[in-house]
């Protein structure tokens, strides 16, 4: 059973490269949900996220020989998924599927109460996240959803801590503006 495989990611990558294709199932099982939440927040829908994670895993398989550090397969897979998500976001923006910057605010319902209000605020915030730039959205997700420190985000994305903070601070202001009817 794949989940009981005690081999390291590096061992499995080397086994797959040596021809044992079925061992790739262990990597799929280990990493399928690991970055799924990131993908959902980046792309805005579970279906799009599932497609993105699948594409990333297949692309990783196709290019497995290029994995420079097999023991860091998870980080390498994240980079592939990240590129995929950012590319899709940029394509959506180019094709006008996301009216980035077009919306001035996310409308609030006329009346609400307690838990319902909280739920609605969560939904509105998810919509507001979709109106941020891909880079702003990513830093919000990695810091406030995935719980990473700026230094960890810098390590994963290759950006500097200073530029990440600048992105984040602009994102805070943008979210405040977009959510003004809910605050």
Partner 1 sequence: MTRTYHVDVKRVLDGEITLADLPPELQAEGAEALRLIAALDRAPVTLPPAFEAKVMRAVRDRATAPMRRVWRWLSAPHEVELRLRVRPWAVSGVTLAAAAVLGLLLVKPQPPARSGSAARPAAANVVFVRFVLHAPGAKGVAVAGTFNQWDQNAAPLIPAGTDGVWTTTLALPVGQHQYAFVIDGRQWIVDPAAPAMDDGFGRRNSLVVVTMQGARTL
Binding site for partner 1 (CB under 8 A): 19, 21-22, 24-25, 28-29, 32-33, 36-37, 39-41, 46, 49-50, 53-54, 57-58, 61-63, 65-69, 76, 79-80, 82-83, 118, 121-122, 125-126, 129, 140, 143-145, 150, 157-158, 165, 168-169, 172-173, 175-177, 179-180, 183
By beta-carbon proximity to partner 1, the closer residue of 1 and 95 is 1
Q: Tell me the residue length of the chain.
A: 183
By beta-carbon proximity to partner 1, the closer residue of 84 and 98 is 84
The minimum distance between CB 90 and partner 1, in angstroms, equals 14
The minimum distance between CB 96 and partner 1, in angstroms, equals 24
- How many other C-beta atoms are found inside a 10 Å radius of the C-beta of residue 87? 12
């Amino acid at each position: 059973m794949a989940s009981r495989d005690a081999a390291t990611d590096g061992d499995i990558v080397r086994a797959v490269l040596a021809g044992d294709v079925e061992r790739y199932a262990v990597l799929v099982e280990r990493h399928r949900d690991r970055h799924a939440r990131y993908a959902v927040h980046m792309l805005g829908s579970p279906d799009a996220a599932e497609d993105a994670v699948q594409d990333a895993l297949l692309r990783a398989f196709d290019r497995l020989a290029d994995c420079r550090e097999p023991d860091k397969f998870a980080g390498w897979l994240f980079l592939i998924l990240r590129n995929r998500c950012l590319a899709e976001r940029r394509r959506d923006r180019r094709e006008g599927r996301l009216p980035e910057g077009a919306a001035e605010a996310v409308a609030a319902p006329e009346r609400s109460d307690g838990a319902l209000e909280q739920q609605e605020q969560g939904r509105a915030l998810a919509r507001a996240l979709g109106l941020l730039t891909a880079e702003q959205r990513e830093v919000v997700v990695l810091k406030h959803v995935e719980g990473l420190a700026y230094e960890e985000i810098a390590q994963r994305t290759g950006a500097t801590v200073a530029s990440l903070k600048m992105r984040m601070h602009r994102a805070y202001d943008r979210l405040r503006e977009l959510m003004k009817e809910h605050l």
